[in-house]
């Protein structure tokens, strides 16, 4: 072994960079999506640092991971700066359901914008790769259908949903500007409706709402006439797409749609859940909230081409998992 000034210049024979663990930071790691991502990345042999302020995240989501030797969790709000030595950052932190993001709309917008600035600054200092969990809400109430990544959207900048929609749009802008101006290695995904275990039961989203109401034989509430469409992907499919996106070449920034292209009217979803649960629930209709999109369907051509990704879990199978999960909460 060669030495220079008493210091070895060669690595031990057992060292192999292929087997180095990646150090990965996940903001919002105790949330619905974040907790599934934490587990998957740990299972792949990485070190995972989970940040969460527990506004919508839940410690119970990550309790099974607490004893893992390569898992750490820190209570932290990403509106405040943070420093740790990491190789990759997944920026997921932000309340994502209308009930939660409209609770404090100023805080929601600041989380998207200031959180992005703080995490991009960290990535720039460390030369770390960073992925932004953006949303299909950047398309607003779309007039192009299905929605490709090239579509600029139809968003109300002053409505009740704007704190979330425009906050995420601004975060995408910041990611691209840090990339162009400072050569930060960024990735942007746009997440469409996702469901699965660990969804909050009171978050107001249609899958969790309908299943809980059906299991309790309560009236199933549909806002509007039920003809508005959504596309639902199971959480495992989303996590797979996120990891594939992070592992793409540095030159590819996205954005990339991650969602299920199989479109479904909300009324049909409610009827299917009633049938699958054997519920005696009735369907009742209420006034549609402001700026609620009439249709939502991803064009996933780019995800297929660049990531080799498409959803694999059928809605019927995913709903079975969800129904069994909500029987236990």
The 47-52 sheet, strands edge to edge? 71-75, 47-52, 23-27, 88-91, 129-135, 186-191, 256-258
Instruction: Name the band, by pLDDT with cuts 50, 70 and 90, for residue 324.
Output: very high
Quote the pLDDT of residue 4. 45
Instruction: Name the band, by pLDDT with cuts 50, 70 and 90, for residue 314.
Output: very high
Q: What is the secondary structure of 76-88 as a DSSP string?
A: --TTS------SE
**In this predicted model, what pLDDT tens digit does every residue of 121-153 receive, in sequence order?**
999 999 999 999 999 999 999 999 999 999 999
325 is annotated as an active-site residue = no
Quote the pLDDT of residue 2. 44
**In this predicted model, what pLDDT tens digit does every residue of 178-224 receive, in sequence order?**
999 999 999 999 999 999 999 988 787 899 999 999 999 999 999 99
pLDDT of 7 above 80? no
pLDDT of 8 above 80? no
Long-range pairs of 65-73 with CB within 8 A, sequence gap ≥ 24: 65/35, 65/38, 65/39, 68/42, 70/21, 70/42, 70/46, 71/38, 71/42, 71/47, 72/47, 72/48, 73/29, 73/30, 73/49
Quote the pLDDT of residue 19. 54
**In this predicted model, what pLDDT tens digit does every residue of 150-180 receive, in sequence order?**
999 999 999 899 888 999 999 999 999 999 9
How many residues does this entry show for the chain?
Answer: 329
Q: Answer with the residue of higher pLDDT: 127 or 104.
A: 127
Instruction: Name the band, by pLDDT with cuts 50, 70 and 90, for residue 316.
Output: very high
User: Residues 233-245: what's their mean pLDDT?
Assistant: 98
Quote the pLDDT of residue 9. 45
> How much is the pTM?
0.91
For residues 199 and 258, is the Cβ–Cβ distance under 8 A? no
Preceding omega of 231 cis (within 30 degrees of 0): no
Q: What is the chain's mean pLDDT, rounded?
A: 92
Percent of the chain with pLDDT over 70: 94
Q: Which CATH entry fits the domain spanning 21-195+233-261+297-312: 3.40.50.2300, 3.30.70.20, 3.40.50.720, 3.10.450.50?
A: 3.40.50.720
User: Residues 69-74: what's their mean pLDDT?
Assistant: 98
Measured in degrees and rounded to the nearest 5, phi and psi for residue 75 equal -75, 115
Quote the pLDDT of residue 13. 40
Q: Answer with the residue of higher pLDDT: 4 or 116.
A: 116
Quote the pLDDT of residue 17. 47
- Residue tagged active-site, from 90, 139, 164, 178: 164
Per domain, the residue ranges of the chain are 21-195+233-261+297-312
Q: Alpha-carbon distance 180 to 186, whole Å?
A: 10
What's the count of helices (H) and strands (E) in the chain, helices before strands? 10, 15
pLDDT of 45 above 90? yes
User: Residues 271-291: what's their mean pLDDT?
Assistant: 92
Quote the pLDDT of residue 244. 98
């Amino acid at each position: 072994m060669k030495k220079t000034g008493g210091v070895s210049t060669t690595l031990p024979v057992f060292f192999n960079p292929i087997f180095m663990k990646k150090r990965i930071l996940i903001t919002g790691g105790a949330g619905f999506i974040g907790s599934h991502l934490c587990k998957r990345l740990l299972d792949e042999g990485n070190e995972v640092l989970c940040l969460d302020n527990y506004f919508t995240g839940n410690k119970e989501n990550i309790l099974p991971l607490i004893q893992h030797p390569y898992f750490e969790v820190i209570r932290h709000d990403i509106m405040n700066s943070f420093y740790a030595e990491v190789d990759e950052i997944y920026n997921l932190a932000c309340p994502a359901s209308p009930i939660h993001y409209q609770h404090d709309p100023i805080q929601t917008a600041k989380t998207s914008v200031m959180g992005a600035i703080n995490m991009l600054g960290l990535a720039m200092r460390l030369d770390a790769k960073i992925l932004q969990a953006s949303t299909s809400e950047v398309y607003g109430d779309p007039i192009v259908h299905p929605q490709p990544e090239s579509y600029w959207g139809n968003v109300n900048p002053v409505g009740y949903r704007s704190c979330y929609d425009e906050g995420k749009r601004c975060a995408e802008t910041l990611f691209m500007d840090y990339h162009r101006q400072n050569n930060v290695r960024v990735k942007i995904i746009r997440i469409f409706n996702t469901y699965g275990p660990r969804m909050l039961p009171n978050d107001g989203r249609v899958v969790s709402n309908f299943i809980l109401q059906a299991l309790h034989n309560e009236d199933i509430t549909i806002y509007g006439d039920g003809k508005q469409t959504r596309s639902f992907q199971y959480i495992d499919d989303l996590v797979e797409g996120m990891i594939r996106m992070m592992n793409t070449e540095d030159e590819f920034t996205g954005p990339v749609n991650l969602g299920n292209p199989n479109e479904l009217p909300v009324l049909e979803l409610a009827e299917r859940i009633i049938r699958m649960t054997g519920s005696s629930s009735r369907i009742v209709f209420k006034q549609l909230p402001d700026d609620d999109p009439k249709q939502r369907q991803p064009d996933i051509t780019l995800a297929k081409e660049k990531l080799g990704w498409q959803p694999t879990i059928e809605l019927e199978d995913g709903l079975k998992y969800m129904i069994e999960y909500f029987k236990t909460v």
